[in-house]
Amino acid sequence: MYDIIIDDIIEEAKKYGNVVSIKLEVGEIAPLLVEEIELLIREKTNWKVETEIKTSAVKCTCGYNGPAQIIKKGSDYTLFSCPRCNSLPRVIDGENIDLKEVRVL
């Protein structure tokens, strides 16, 4: 899973020219660890990689709207729940990895 996502990010950035650095916005409940994303992109490209974490937004049947409660995060998963009732809420935002900026020579 990592390779596909990392390769997609690299290919998208390359469309802008001779890349020297990128900035990513990583959702809090995205299934990849920020440190691993940065490391893999640097290993494949030698680019400078900056990341920002985007807070999640969830909506639960109990009426809760807000950030998810992160239970555990691993190399290809994120376990989260509603902080009010511990049920699995619907994700509104914070699950994506977005390319926000590309710096080229």
Q: Write down the architecture of domain 2-104 according to CATH.
A: 2-Layer Sandwich (3.30)
Cα(67)–Cα(80) distance, rounded to whole angstroms?
10
Give the mean pLDDT of 76-103: 96
> Does the pLDDT value for residue 1 go beyond 80?
no
pLDDT band at 70 (very low <50, low <70, confident <90, very high): very high
Summary mean pLDDT of the chain: 95
Residues 54, 29: Cα–Cα separation, whole Å: 9
Structure tokens given for 6: 């990392």
